[in-house]
Amino acid sequence: MSNNIDPYNDFMQTAPVQYMNREGVLQESGKFIRQWGEKCLVSSGETAWLEAGDQIEKSLSGSGLPYDLIRFSGECCDQNAKKIVHEAKENGADLIVGVGGGKSLDAAKAGAEFLGSPVVTIPTIAATCAATSPMSIMYTLSGEFDRNLYLKNNPNLVIVPPKVIAEAPTKYIQAGILDSFAKWYEGRTVFPKLEQPSLFASSSFELSKLLNEKLTNEASDTVELVQSNKVGSSLIEVTNTVLFLTGVIQSLGQRENRGAAAHAVHNGLTVLKESHELLHGIKVGYGILIHLLLEDRSDSEIRETISFFEELGMAPSLKKLGLPGDDDHLRAVAEKAVDDMLMDYMPFEVTPRMVEDSMRTLEDMVG
Ligand SMILES: [Zn+2]
């Protein structure tokens, strides 16, 4: 029997230990962070620190928690995670606080994992559920995907500052919303085909219905709020959906109710170097539309989804996303998408030809 523990397969981890999302939370962040350590190392992205640093510093000082600050830049890679470990050891820190976007938070979580310390995340954008998940997506120093690093625990404390998220560029919340939506579109394809879904898979599916309802009703409002840099109740609800609920659905569904064509097409798009500039969620949004076409959903449903995504600010075609759409590129994307293990979760066989045809159909529909 192996002594190794595999956090992905051996047990379930569903949510962060503590989660907060309310106005003014940064001003009192110190007293909540202090619960988890005697001295902390803050690792923050540059822009994130300009937005949130002042309030965090004041609050840490005010609560008497000593801290050191390092800048995060570049990729979430082993080198950056080890730098965090090194700095923490140098400074005698027993707690890591990550501030910023997905890569910065993933690096802080990986650093804490290697160090064996608790971790606090402070997301300054809501483009993914990195703030709450028990996983870091590791890249090489030059930005190639390396591996998924499954962690011993979800973050100990997540502090979401809605004002900072409202003041970030709109593309981040748009991407976060579309990536969350995939939980519903993929779930309703995968779940009904499970022969004996577990309690956990069923829970994840029920929650994805709620997610769909929430985003359908409140996503447009939220995008408008972020466009005018305002906080409102829908922004809080939608960021909770993107940052928290999506992660819970993912964790509950981990082994059964999985991603499918929308994410497989996302992974296919990564063969286009032009796509590397686009946020994960934006590519997933495109993948959702291809997913619907592959399933042969009704023309009216597909058209409604396209106009809804456009209302959310997404450009729903290769042309509008600035990606090449000639035959060779389409074939390369389709082959990579079909090769992806997530495509196997589709309840019927998907061929590269079907993906290519769907991509062409979408271009014709959107123009
Ligand atoms: Zn995703």
Domain-terminating residue out of 151, 167, 183: 167
Q: Are 306 and 352 in a shared domain?
A: yes
β-partners of residue 135 are 150
Residue 1 inside a domain? The answer is no
Residue 280 alpha carbon to ligand 1 centre in Å:
7
Catalytic residue among 106, 266, 291, 340: 266
Residue 296 annotated to the active site = no
d(CA 291, CA 265): 8
- For the chain, helix (H) and strand (E) counts, in that order, are 16, 8
Q: Are 209 and 355 in a shared domain?
A: yes
Residue 263 annotated to the active site = yes
What is the pLDDT at residue 4? 85
What is the pLDDT at residue 157? 98
Residue 329 annotated to the active site = no
Q: Are 175 and 160 in a shared domain?
A: no
Q: Are 238 and 161 in a shared domain?
A: no
Number of structural domains found in the chain: 2
Residue 224 inside a domain? The answer is yes
What is the pLDDT at residue 6? 84
Residue 139 alpha carbon to ligand 1 centre in Å:
16
Q: Are 201 and 82 in a shared domain?
A: no
Q: What is the dihedral of CA 18, 24, 27, 31, to 10 degrees?
A: -30
Catalytic residue among 78, 106, 263, 291: 263
Q: Are 138 and 254 in a shared domain?
A: no
What is the pLDDT at residue 258? 82
d(CA 146, CA 136): 11
Residue 2 inside a domain? The answer is no
Domain-terminating residue out of 138, 167, 196: 167
Residue 271 alpha carbon to ligand 1 centre in Å:
17
Question: pTM score, two decimals?
Answer: 0.95
Q: Are 220 and 135 in a shared domain?
A: no
Residue 363 alpha carbon to ligand 1 centre in Å:
23
Residue 55 alpha carbon to ligand 1 centre in Å:
31
Contact 291, 189 (CB under 8 A): yes
Catalytic residue among 78, 106, 179, 340: 179
Q: Are 242 and 137 in a shared domain?
A: no
β-partners of residue 20 are 159
* CATH number of domain containing 157: 3.40.50.1970
Q: Are 100 and 195 in a shared domain?
A: no
Residue 86 annotated to the active site = no
Residue 62 alpha carbon to ligand 1 centre in Å:
38
Domain with 193, as residue range(s), is 171-366
* CATH number of domain containing 316: 1.20.1090.10
Alpha-carbon radius of gyration of the chain: 20
Residue 281 alpha carbon to ligand 1 centre in Å:
6
User: Residues in the chain with pLDDT < 50?
Assistant: none
Q: Are 74 and 108 in a shared domain?
A: yes
Q: Are 142 and 182 in a shared domain?
A: no
Residue 340 alpha carbon to ligand 1 centre in Å:
14
SS3 assignment for 280-339: HHHHHHHHHHHHHHHCCCCHHHHHHHHHHHHHCCCCCCHHHHCCCCCHHHHHHHHHHHHH
The DSSP bridge pattern shows strands 67-72 and 40-45 to be parallel
What is the pLDDT at residue 1? 62
Residue 246 alpha carbon to ligand 1 centre in Å:
9
Catalytic residue among 78, 106, 280, 340: 280
Contact 365, 302 (CB under 8 A): yes
Domain-terminating residue out of 132, 149, 167: 167
Q: Are 326 and 312 in a shared domain?
A: yes
